[in-house]
Amino acid sequence: MKKFHSLAVTAGLLFTTSGAALAASNISIEDRLNALEQRLQQAEQRAQQAEARANSAEQRAQQLEQRTAKTEQQTQQVAQQTAALESKRDAPSNLKLNDFGDLKLYGDVEFNLDGASRSGQLTSLKSSDKKDWKPGDKERWDVNGRILIGLDGYRRNQDGNFSGFSVQPLADMTGKMNLDDAAFFFGNEKNWQAKIGRFEAYDMFPLNQDTFIQYSGNTANDLYADGFGYIYMMKEGRGRSNSGGNVMLSKYAGDWYFELNTLVEDGTSLFQENEYHGNRLENNKNVAYLRPVIAWKNDTFSAAVAMESNVVNNAYGYRDAQGQWVDQSKRNGYGLTLGWNNTAANPDNGVVVNLNTAYLDASGEQDFTSGINVLWRRFELGYIYAHNNIKQFNTSGINADINNPLSEPGKYDIHTIHTSYQIPNIMDMKNFNLYLGAYVSMLEANAENKIANGDNDQRYGVRARFKYFF
């Protein structure tokens, strides 16, 4: 019994001890699993942190790469700009305006020292740069001239379409500010052009290097002076009027050139003092001159035909003794000019020749003009013949005036010889030239004319013109 009891106690002790040991073992495994799970979580967090740091490093690397590429691009742009500036260092500079087109600034200085027998020259030809110049009856010794400042703008597309403007203010020696051109134009290069403003159309009576008859200012105004011979040159509808403006369409077709100019102005501005054939003119409405031109030109030879006509009836006139309106606005002109110029192929010994003719059918008057001029080695010689047939002239209340030899009806012939010589590059300065010129005009009239006689049938003068372009 005792043995059985001892065995039972021993077995109980063993069972108790192994249970406690088993329980302790289970606790230790659970702790280790928990610790292992914590370590796994920590490792996962560290992996996530490492991945985030890797992404951040990659973004920084991309940003650095982008900055590097941008820096290389800027370096290339700076190098290109530097190369462009170096390439343009010796080239002429162009003034730009908002990259829309080119601007050109230039000038033309022209001053004259004159000596003339009478400013009228027997004709109403302007022989002075003064815009308010008028024929007179006294000898003329004076200094006159002007400075022109020009500004041109031009814009061109790749398809040849273009637009632009030109403005040319004038500063006269008399202290007055005037204007040559002020025009806007657009079109397609070497094809067609439209132009509007103040400008001169095609020259149908070129005078070569003449120093007395070419002038700046109002081309279409004060051309006709009562009592003086009228040398008609197809200028009445050409433009540059102080009382109106031009609209012109032109077209190129190979060697051919076509032009239609329209001048709208106060028609009485053509006549000095608004007088025509002894009558005071009244402006009723503006005139509209249509002036078509057809020209052809090759390397050396050129030819052009044109006409100009006022298409507005009763634009201006006067009232007779009975108060009836008398229209004086009929003016139809026709012209032809031929030219030869081989100076491009032979600059030193080339010749420039112009042959011009013009005819005017106007109210109470018909005029014919023809001229030739030649330029060779800077020496120019020209001759102009003008015939005036004045059919009507109001002589009532007018006494014979020896200074106005054409103040009565009749036929008159006027011969004008003009010459000039160019002395280039004064003081070795390019574009600074001196022109020495002279002219003489002679009048032939009917033998019964009481005014035109041997004592009053010549005019003459000399001029020194200083000319500088910049």
pLDDT digits (tens, 9 = 90+) for 206-245: 999 877 765 444 556 667 877 677 889 999 999 999 899 9
Cβ atoms of residues 97 and 152 within 8 Å: no
Q: How far apart, in whole angstroms, are the C-alpha atoms of residue 147 and residue 127?
A: 17
Cβ atoms of residues 133 and 172 within 8 Å: no
Q: Which residue has the higher pLDDT, 81 or 88?
A: 81
Q: How far apart, in whole angstroms, are the C-alpha atoms of residue 406 and residue 247?
A: 35
Q: Which residue has the higher pLDDT, 461 or 222?
A: 461
**What kind and span of H or E run contains 185?**
strand 177-188
Point out which residues pair with 413 in neighbouring strands: 387, 444
Distance of CA 31 to the CA centre of its chain: 100
What does the block give as tokens for 206? 């070129």
What does the block give as tokens for 332? 């139809």
Q: How far apart, in whole angstroms, are the C-alpha atoms of residue 211 and residue 213?
A: 6
53 three-class SS = helix
**Residue written as token pair 């009048």:** 443
pLDDT at 52 over 90: no
Distance of CA 30 to the CA centre of its chain: 101
Distance of CA 296 to the CA centre of its chain: 23
Please state, rounded to an integer, the average pLDDT across all residues of the chain.
82
Tell me what pLDDT residue 122 has: 53
Residue 360: band (very low, low, confident or very high) from pLDDT cuts 50, 70, 90: very high
- The string of DSSP letters for 220-238 reads TSS-B-TBSB----S-TTT
Tell me what pLDDT residue 30 has: 78
Q: How many CA atoms lie within 13 A of 202 on its CB side?
A: 28
Q: How far apart, in whole angstroms, are the C-alpha atoms of residue 237 and residue 262?
A: 7
Q: How far apart, in whole angstroms, are the C-alpha atoms of residue 365 and residue 409?
A: 9
Phi, psi of 49 (to 5 degrees): -65, -40
Going by C-beta distance under 8 Å and a sequence separation of 6 or more, which residues neighbour residue 165?
152, 153, 183, 184, 185
Tell me what pLDDT residue 129 has: 53
- Strands 161-172 vs 140-156: parallel, antiparallel or unpaired: antiparallel
pLDDT at 19 over 60: no
pLDDT tens figures, 323-334? 899 999 999 999
355 three-class SS = strand
Fold of 106-145+189-469: Porin (2.40.160)
**Residue written as token pair 């041997």:** 454
**What kind and span of H or E run contains 63?**
helix 2-87
What does the block give as tokens for 461? 């003068």
Cβ atoms of residues 342 and 300 within 8 Å: yes
Query: Can you point out the beta strands (E) in 218-300?
Result: 244-253, 256-265, 275-276, 279-280, 282-283, 287-297
What does the domain layout of the chain look like in residue ranges?
47-81, 106-145+189-469
Residue 75: band (very low, low, confident or very high) from pLDDT cuts 50, 70, 90: confident
pLDDT at 399 over 80: no
Going by C-beta distance under 8 Å and a sequence separation of 6 or more, which residues neighbour residue 469?
106, 107, 108, 109, 431
pTM: 0.74
pLDDT at 168 over 90: yes
Cβ atoms of residues 226 and 388 within 8 Å: no
**Residue written as token pair 């077209």:** 251
For the chain, first and last CA: distance in Å? Answer: 148
**What kind and span of H or E run contains 14?**
helix 2-87
- Strands 244-253 vs 410-423: parallel, antiparallel or unpaired: unpaired
